[in-house]
Amino acid sequence: MTDTLDDLDVEGTTVGVRVDINSPIDDDGSLADDARLRAHVDTLSELLERGGRVAVLAHQGRPGGDDFVSLEPHAERLSTLLERPVDYVDVTYSSGAREAVRNLDDGDCIVLENTRFYSEEYMEFDPDAAARTHLVEGLAPVLDAYVNDAFAAAHRSQPSLVGFPSVLPGYAGRVMESELDVLGSIEETPEPRVYVLGGAKVSDSIDVAWSVLEKGLADHVLTAGVAGNVFLTADGVDLGDASTDFIYEQGYWDEIDRAADLLDAYGERVALPRDVAVERDGERHELGVNALPPADSEAAMDIGSSTLSYYERILEGAGTVILNGPAGVFEEAAFENGTRELYNAASDVDTSIVGGGDTASALRSLGVEGFSHVSTGGGAALRMLTAEPLPAVTALEDGPKHQQPADD
Ligand SMILES: Nc1ncnc2c1ncn2[C@@H]1O[C@H](COP(=O)(O)OP(=O)(O)OP(=O)(O)O)[C@@H](O)[C@H]1O
Ligand SMILES: O=C(O)[C@H](O)COP(=O)(O)O
């Protein structure tokens, strides 16, 4: 178990708070969506109201990406959400950053610059090595405590996630605490347990499917999205050139063999789509798998209605459903039906848990509600849902193993 904010004597304490506010960015560099910032408001407000001195640490994007930008807009938005001034500091661990942290008063909040502007932060380290990085050696001397609220990044073993808790007392923030509560007890959720794996990250879906089937966590795995198309292909269905080329282009050809092996080993627990939707004459048109391949170059863009009825029957008997990834190209009106109806059916299951960035945005845009838990994490949630440890959580649990670096 990790300590939480309930265990931290906050007043007058200078706290480094790692959040995950990695967000979609518009062409002009502004925030396109602030859902992840909103998620951390409770943790930050609580720390500030209890008299903490808060230095926020976070990453945005990956080097080379269009969304690899400064955290200045994030600081501005946090200031609005927290209803108090939040200063942006354009450095992360240099003497200027230390100075800004030393100048904090009780109830003050600053946002330090994107941790990934420093190359160390997109490399993976074990906690001992992470404790010796420039980021941790530079900033830890002016912090009294470290709070990790960045559940969505907890599957990364990067210095801001595993280095600070190696040298400072570490605590889980409120987002981290609630994610760990729900996702950490997956083995105790009611059975039968159904995993719905859709979306486009086929390798991740197949990893999860193997893991939950091998461990006996899943009674059924329902496949949809690109993952469903890969499983159909592995089962010998010819989806036609468009879908097959797409699988090639995405580099998922090897996944067809892995999916076939999984069907050999656990086929009776893996459900495949019975029909798919394609675009014909500008409209949605459904084809049973026996009618495949489709004419011309029609791609399978969604699951069809007989798949939905089949999956809905399985979900009716479920005690727990865990979903990741949309069932089709929900961004196009003609192909949103599978995602909307499948997720609607899943929301009626007693315990319904959803993970994934695009999944959460699909649910918002389709107006589907009523889940027991919508996780802030994609990759991190998936890893927990297979009952695998997360490096950042392990580092918090292990506690400090090294001396706090000295202030200059
Ligand atoms: N049949 C399909 N053909 C092509 N793309 C599809 C199909 N079904 C779903 N998709 C696409 O999958 C994308 C989302 O997949 P993804 O695996 O990234 O989900 P996610 O919820 O964001 O998970 P994570 O947070 O782990 O990334 C959407 O953009 C959607 O259009
Ligand atoms: O968006 C995410 O999944 C997290 O912020 C982690 O980002 P990363 O995949 O770039 O490490």
CB of residue 302 inside a 6 A radius of ligand 2: no
125-164 per-position pLDDT tens digit: 999 999 999 999 999 999 999 999 999 999 999 999 999 9
Residue to mutate (ligand 2; options 22, 33, 201; most atoms within 8 A of CB): 22
Say if residue 328 is in the same domain as residue 217. Answer: yes
What is the radius of gyration, based on Cα positions, of the chain?
Answer: 23
CB of residue 20 inside a 6 A radius of ligand 2: yes
Q: Cβ(194)–Cβ(318) under 8 Å?
A: yes
257-288 per-position pLDDT tens digit: 999 999 999 999 999 999 999 999 989 999 99
Q: State the CATH number of the domain containing residue 287.
A: 3.40.50.1260
In the prediction, which pLDDT does 292 show? 95
Answer yes or no: is pLDDT of 198 > 80: yes
Query: Is residue 184 a part of any domain in this protein?
Result: no
In the prediction, which pLDDT does 158 show? 97
Answer yes or no: is pLDDT of 357 > 90: no
Residue nearest to atom 7 of ligand 2 (CA): 153
Containing structural domain, residue 108: 5-179+392-398
Helix H segments across 235-277?
241-249, 253-266
Answer yes or no: is pLDDT of 200 > 80: yes
Query: Is residue 377 a part of any domain in this protein?
Result: no
Q: Using CA atoms, how far apart are residues 76 and 264, in angstroms rounded to an integer? A: 53
CB of residue 377 inside a 6 A radius of ligand 1: no
Environment class of 32 (CB within 10 Å of its CB; exposed 0-12, middle 13-18, buried 19+): exposed
Answer yes or no: is pLDDT of 215 > 90: yes
Say if residue 211 is in the same domain as residue 315. Answer: yes
Say if residue 301 is in the same domain as residue 175. Answer: no
Q: Quote the DSSP letter at residue 405.
A: P
In the prediction, which pLDDT does 86 show? 98
Terminal CA-CA length for the chain: 34
Say if residue 137 is in the same domain as residue 30. Answer: yes
Say if residue 247 is in the same domain as residue 274. Answer: yes
Environment class of 287 (CB within 10 Å of its CB; exposed 0-12, middle 13-18, buried 19+): buried
State the closest ligand 2 atom to the C-alpha of 22, by its place in the atom list counted from 1: 5
CA of 48 to the centre of ligand 2 (A): 26
In the prediction, which pLDDT does 40 show? 97
CA of 152 to the centre of ligand 2 (A): 7
Q: Which amino acid is at 382?
A: L
146-173 burial, b at 16+ Cβ within 10 Å, e below that, comes to: bbbbbbbbbbbbbbbbbbbbbbbbbbbb
ipTM: 0.92
CB of residue 63 inside a 6 A radius of ligand 2: no
Q: Cβ contacts of residue 291 below 8 Å, gap of 6+?
A: none
66-101 burial, b at 16+ Cβ within 10 Å, e below that, comes to: eebbebbbbbebbbebbeeebebbebbbbeebbebb
Say if residue 309 is in the same domain as residue 175. Answer: no
Say if residue 337 is in the same domain as residue 211. Answer: yes
Q: Using CA atoms, how far apart are residues 86 and 81, in angstroms rounded to an integer? A: 10
Q: Cβ(180)–Cβ(2) under 8 Å?
A: yes
Say if residue 243 is in the same domain as residue 156. Answer: no
The edge-to-edge listing of strands for the beta sheet with 109-111 is: 87-88, 109-111, 53-57, 14-18, 145-148, 170-172
What domain count does the chain have? 2
Query: Is residue 270 a part of any domain in this protein?
Result: yes
Ligand nearest to the CA of 361: 1
Say if residue 148 is in the same domain as residue 220. Answer: no
Q: Using CA atoms, how far apart are residues 360 and 314, in angstroms rounded to an integer? A: 23
In the prediction, which pLDDT does 382 show? 84
Say if residue 44 is in the same domain as residue 164. Answer: yes
The whole-model pTM stands at: 0.84
CB of residue 357 inside a 6 A radius of ligand 1: yes
In the prediction, which pLDDT does 379 show? 81
State the closest ligand 2 atom to the C-alpha of 152, by its place in the atom list counted from 1: 4
Query: Is residue 295 a part of any domain in this protein?
Result: yes
Percent of the chain, pLDDT > 90? 87
Q: Using CA atoms, how far apart are residues 213 and 220, in angstroms rounded to an integer? A: 8
Q: Cβ(109)–Cβ(78) under 8 Å?
A: yes
pLDDT band (50, 70, 90) for residue 111? very high
Query: Is residue 358 a part of any domain in this protein?
Result: no
Say if residue 175 is in the same domain as residue 251. Answer: no
Q: Using CA atoms, how far apart are residues 171 and 187, in angstroms rounded to an integer? A: 24
Answer yes or no: is pLDDT of 310 > 80: yes
The string of DSSP codes covering 120-172 is: GGGS---HHHHTTSHHHHHHGGG-SEEEE--GGGTT---IIIIIGGGTS-EEE
pLDDT band (50, 70, 90) for residue 360? confident
Strand partners, 322: 195, 353
State the closest ligand 1 atom to the C-alpha of 301, by its place in the atom list counted from 1: 1
Percent of the chain, pLDDT > 70? 100
Binding residue ranges for (2R)-3-phosphoglycerate: 36, 116, 156
In the prediction, which pLDDT does 297 show? 82
